[in-house]
Amino acid sequence: MDGHLSVVGRTTTPSWGKPGATRFYGDPPWRHRVTTRASSILHCHGILASVANTKRSGNKKLKKQETKKLRNKISQHIIPPAFILLPIPFCHTLTSYLPYPTHLPPWCTRMRAARDINLSILLLRAGDVHPNPGPALRIAQFNILGFTPGRRLSLLHKAITHNLDVLLLQELHVTEDEASRLTLDGYKFFAVSRNARGGGVAVLVRDVFQSSLVSQSITSVVEQITACVKVGAHLCYFTSAYFPSGNRVGSATVHSLSQGAWTTHLIGLDSNCHHGRWDTYADANPGGSHIVDFCTDERYAILNTGDPTRRSLTVRKGRLSAPDVTLARGCTTQRWQSTPDPDSDHFLITFNFVIGDDVPLAHHVPKRSFYSWGKANWQEFSRLVAADCRTFPMRGNPHQQAKFLSRSIAKATAKAVPKGVVRVRHFWSADLEDAQSKCEALLNPIHGTTPAQRRAILVSTRERKKILDMHCKNEWGKACADMKTSNSATWRMLHNIMSTRPTPTNLVVEGGREIPLTSAANHLVSFFKTKATRHPRAKVPQTPPRPTGLLRALTRHE
């Protein structure tokens, strides 16, 4: 993203095409056009095509006359914006075309002081210029309906499949202590919950970003948590909130989700409120009106497109509704869509979150490399490759030679280049993929489902849940085979999963004697799948006493 600029220039329609066309016959594959009425809006990365072609065609040192002519063309705006995308070169490749002396300080000094200035001067002469907006993040909002081991594995599969950067979750169904110990490979987990049945919200941020917890609050009316994510030079705030059903939502409750200092803010809300602005399937209620007033007062935009975000899982009633609302301020969002998901009765909501106020010109934020190339020992790398190539198969066929060279490079890389980010282990079998495809095929017709179709959906989701639980059980069995009290990885795994429950080490090793693999797996699975529906120190409600007096028969008048 560094150094990219967007050039917007207006030129007449080319003679070899028609207005409104984006591709013409005979155009190279790298040529793209966006036409509006009688003018064209052109996007270009890097220097102009005319300048680049002249640079390639000539020698390294252009003659004084050619350089002078080129400078005059640039200054007089004769060279039009190009229809191609070029990689941005370094600053030293542009100095020979600028209308000032080319005797500059060393390259490193020029890069620090004059790189942005040189690029801006060159691009300003080609048309209207505005800075390229920041990167686009992939966001997901989901009411997970219980953070069980099976749904944790399914959530990791969704995060890898959709390349998610931030996840906003509601209804974790965990206790307060459990929420502080939840983890997901490759993500930072910020969660808060209450010691009661249901509830629990979380914000998951990919670990390549700098993120921190900003605020959290738990009341009987609202549960919310906000995390701050730094993307480049921008600070973005993400809030996951949940309004429990059965409570009356007031204006003060909705306004508590935002603060004036959060200029770039996104709210993923399971509101259990309805309004015609986003939900046409249910009657409006006062909570929905408060949300609309909040958006008007605080300048938030409602991203919902009118599609449903929840479907009742009962066979008799397949009622659709949209209790999930997405609010945004100070940013641009794209491709908001809700997709039925077999893990919950709520739909999975995904969209792009653009840092800035315009269409991004680059891909998503890249993931960290699995190797630290900046810390590599290249001398050792060259020595290892050269030593291994002494036994190069000179008489072998090209396939054998290429395979030998690839193996040599891989072995040298493993020894000379230190490891970077750890690869996320993703346990997803072919049976799970087949069950997932079957459920998605049944869930796709959202409108007009019959009771028979809803019954088939319930059967397929239960089969998928059973396969998912068995898959988690098998993976736990493999992990239990290496669990020992003297191994630090065992304690680290249990520490990340357990919270304040009693340590289950005695379920793995008892009196120095290891439990068989199947028994250990069954113990661990049954232990971790237990839902904490009530706090251990909570008072158990007493049954009302039965009347001890004599019962009389009711009269006809009564």
Give tens-digit pLDDT for 129-176. 444 555 678 999 999 988 888 899 899 999 988 989 999 999 998 888
| 356 vs 141, more confident | 141
| C-alpha to C-alpha distances, 346 to 325, 349, 533, nearest whole angstrom | 12, 9, 21
CA distance linking residue 471 with residue 527, whole number of Å: 16
**CATH class of domain segment(s) 136-354:** alpha beta
Q: For residue 174, what pLDDT is reported?
A: 86
Half-sphere exposure in the Cβ direction for 30 (13 Å, CA)? 8
List pLDDT tens digits, range 310-340.
Answer: 988 776 677 889 999 999 998 888 889 999 9
**Which amino acid is located at 224 in the chain?**
Q
CA distance linking residue 240 with residue 186, whole number of Å: 19
CA distance linking residue 328 with residue 348, whole number of Å: 18
Nearest to 349 by CA among 183, 162, 157, 156: 162
Q: SS3 breakdown of the chain: % helix, strand, coil, rounded to 5? A: 35, 20, 45
CA distance linking residue 142 with residue 167, whole number of Å: 8
List pLDDT tens digits, range 222-266.
Answer: 999 999 998 877 899 999 999 988 777 889 999 999 998 898 999
Nearest to 134 by CA among 330, 351, 328: 330
Structural element, H or E, at residue 136: strand 136-143
Q: Which CB contacts under 8 angstroms, 24+ apart, belong to 481-487?
A: 481/517, 483/508, 483/509, 483/520, 484/508, 484/509, 484/514, 485/509
Domain extents for the chain?
5-131, 136-354, 373-415, 430-528
Beta strands 324-329; 265-270: pairing state: antiparallel
Backbone angles phi, psi at 334, to 5 degrees: -140, 150
pLDDT surpasses 70 at 356:
no
List pLDDT tens digits, range 172-218.
Answer: 988 887 887 788 888 999 999 887 667 889 999 998 888 999 999 98
Partner residues linked to 84 by β-bridges: 31
pTM of the model: 0.60
Partner residues linked to 224 by β-bridges: 217, 241
Beta strands 166-170; 136-143: pairing state: parallel
Structural element, H or E, at residue 412: helix 398-416
| 20 vs 512, more confident | 512
